[in-house]
């Protein structure tokens, strides 16, 4: 089960560094499903060789879906790094400079200029990093909020029903509205963890502590330290079937606009 979910958002480039969300959860959560993928690993064994860029591509929605299914089954062991694109014809119009920029992007896993290419019309760039972290660029940040809302909702559903008896009906959980997550954008820019290890129930309220992580990236051992500050709680009210966020310090509210 999920112990923690880490989020750090760079709103300048719309890059989201996160831990606790799988590639398949990403794929099922997005609205703008990729038409095609350009794999940014020149040595990839997966996909079809594209002569103009020298990279491998996956064509069509079915090919993309199969790729994520293979990832879910752990049948792809190479680095996950790709950029989606809309039209194969425009792919062949990439200049040598644009191709070199894509190769740099794939090698360094960070953008040189804009992460969104006019000729590719891409909505995402996806990088799997070490320690189960990922860095994903979103043309529309609401895509990420939707993924995160789905993940938080599913995790709370699992936690609330984890110890129910076989004969007891499962307790439903209302889906978390992404507007509540949008309001937390300022905190996400600082870097936070939703700590399910320390989540608990008080009456009808299921409370998930939210910690500010100061070092800019989440540690592999999933342990909080004295430098990690409790800033609030994400609360699911089971009797009202409502979500809310409470803050430890009212001064933190300036981060929620």
Q: What is the DSSP letter of 55?
A: E
CA distances from 126 to 61, 163, 190, 204 (A): 17, 36, 21, 38
User: Number of helices and strands (H, E) in the chain?
Assistant: 7, 13
Evaluate whether 40 touches 102 at the Cβ level (below 8 Å): yes
Total-model pTM: 0.92
Burial class (CB in 10 A: 0-12, 13-18, 19+), 200: exposed
The one-digit pLDDT tens for each residue of the chain (257 residues) are: 788 999 999 999 999 999 999 999 999 999 999 999 999 998 898 999 999 999 999 999 999 999 999 999 988 888 899 999 999 999 999 999 999 999 999 999 999 889 999 999 999 999 999 878 999 999 999 999 999 999 999 999 999 988 766 667 888 999 999 999 999 999 999 999 999 999 999 999 999 999 998 665 566 556 676 667 899 999 999 999 999 999 987 666 556 55
């Amino acid at each position: 089960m999920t112990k923690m979910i880490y989020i750090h958002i760079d709103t300048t480039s719309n890059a989201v560094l996160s831990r606790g969300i799988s590639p398949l959860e990403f794929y099922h959560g997005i609205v703008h499903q990729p038409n095609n993928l350009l794999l940014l690993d020149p040595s990839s064994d997966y996909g079809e060789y594209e002569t103009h860029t020298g990279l491998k591509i996956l064509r069509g929605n079915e090919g993309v879906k199969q790729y994520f299914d293979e990832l879910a089954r752990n049948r792809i062991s190479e680095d996950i790094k790709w950029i989606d694109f809309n039209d194969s014809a425009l792919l062949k119009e990439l200049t040598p400079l644009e191709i070199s920029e894509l190769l740099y992007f794939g090698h360094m896993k960070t953008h040189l200029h804009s992460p969104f290419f006019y000729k590719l019309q891409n909505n995402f760039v996806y990088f799997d990093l070490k320690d189960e972290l990922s860095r994903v660029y979103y043309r529309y940040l609401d895509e990420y909020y939707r993924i995160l809302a789905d993940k938080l909702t599913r995790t709370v559903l699992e936690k609330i029903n984890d110890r129910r008896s076989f004969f007891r009906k499962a307790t439903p959980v209302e889906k978390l509205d992404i507007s509540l997550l949008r309001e937390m954008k300022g905190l996400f820019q600082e870097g936070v963890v939703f700590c399910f290890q320390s989540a608990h129930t008080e009456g009808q309220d299921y409370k998930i502590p939210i910690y500010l992580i100061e070092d800019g990236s989440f540690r592999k051992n999933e342990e909080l330290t004295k430098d990690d500050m409790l800033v609030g709680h994400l609360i699911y009210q089971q009797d009202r079937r409502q979500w809310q966020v409470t803050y430890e310090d009212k001064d933190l509210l300036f981060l929620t606009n």
